[in-house]
Chain A
């Protein structure tokens, strides 16, 4: 039981922790305070409680696939927020106050939504054991270990990102943000396939022989870039589009602001 809870909590913690650390690293280049982190975490915790409490109801929506639809929607909004952040942060010239405020708002929203999604699963998992203290104690302990490891990996990612060469740091952070966002996009597509809202197809390839999704590397890659060993062509297309869209937008915006000045 202990090991199970370590793994479950770690998995959910990793995704949220990685988003927070990448955004924190990106925020280093902004002149603003870090109030947005606390706000995002606050929104996320409240959201997680609310979502966990209503999961039974949500599941019944849309002929029993409400969970997939709502989760896909959350992932798509996170994707949109992260893409906009990547574009705004890489805009040429001086950032106005309004622009910085928008970035902070988008960062709070991304963190809030990520914690809502991952946090609600943790709460649902824990809720199954609260009535049985003999089981709950080791599960809580395992959960704390998982949370500790997840937070440490997040902190490590943050320090790696900020300790890279000053001129490279924004570029690397942007690249990581784009990869994380694209992973969110392809996970949303995967959920819509599971709900039968998008057509299902046979997998395009199978890399489970190299990196199994259940392995530590597979889990890390899943949390970071939405790795799947047997993706369908639609998921691959969504992933590529998710990488290309922000890159094209960043280039367009930079050219536009170049012509402007």
Chain B
């Protein structure tokens, strides 16, 4: 198994179909563990074409998503079920 424990962790919340925080900065060229808490009662789908990630998060639940290693740059993500409001960016530095 890969060294899961070593991946630095970052947390985001979904509240009223918004990501909080909507911008996070992560180290470049490093695999990270993103934990998304869905505080809404409705389901959401974390999605990013740039990160090649897609995951359903049921209402009141959390999701673990491994991301990267990323080259320095900006990687937008969105909530597919509420794409107008649920928007965010991961910046790799």
Contact = CB atoms under 8 A, between A and B. Distances in A.
Interface of A: 4, 8, 55-56, 59-60, 63-65, 67-68, 121, 124-125, 127-129, 190, 193-197, 199-202, 208, 212-214, 218, 228-231
B23 interface: no
B56 interface: yes
25 contacts: A4-B82, A4-B83, A8-B81, A59-B58, A60-B61, A63-B4, A64-B35, A64-B62, A64-B63, A65-B66, A67-B56, A124-B56, A128-B42, A190-B52, A196-B4, A196-B33, A197-B2, A200-B31, A200-B66, A200-B69, A201-B69, A202-B69, A208-B49, A208-B50, A229-B49
Contacts of A60: 61
B69 A8 contact: no
Contact of B49 (A55, A63, A64, A213): A213
Lowest 7 CB-CB distances: which A-B pairs, in order?
A: A64-B64, A128-B42, A213-B49, A196-B66, A56-B58, A128-B43, A124-B43
B16 to A, nearest CB: 13
A55 B55 CA distance: 11
Given A194-B52, A230-B50, 10 more contacts: A8-B80, A65-B64, A67-B55, A124-B56, A128-B44, A196-B2, A202-B70, A208-B50, A214-B49, A230-B52
B55 to A, nearest CB: 6
Contacts of A128: 42-44, 59, 81
B53 interface: yes
A54 to B, nearest CB: 10
A65 B49 CA distance: 19
A67 B53 CA distance: 13
A137 B17 CA distance: 19
Nearest to A68: B55
A200 B56 contact: no
Given A64-B64, A65-B64, A125-B43, A55 B56 contact: yes
B56 A121 contact: yes
B7 interface: yes
A67 B55 CA distance: 8
A125 B44 CA distance: 8
Contacts of A127: 42-43
A59 B61 contact: yes
A213 B37 CA distance: 26
B30 to A, nearest CB: 10
Interface in B51-89: 52-53, 55-59, 61-66, 68-71, 80-84
Interface string B18-41: 000000000001010101000000
Given A125-B81, A128-B42, A199-B2, A59 B52 contact: no
Contacts of B50: 208, 230
A260 B53 CA distance: 48
A202 B75 CA distance: 14
A160 B11 CA distance: 48
A75 to B, nearest CB: 13
B37 to A, nearest CB: 12
B84 A4 contact: yes
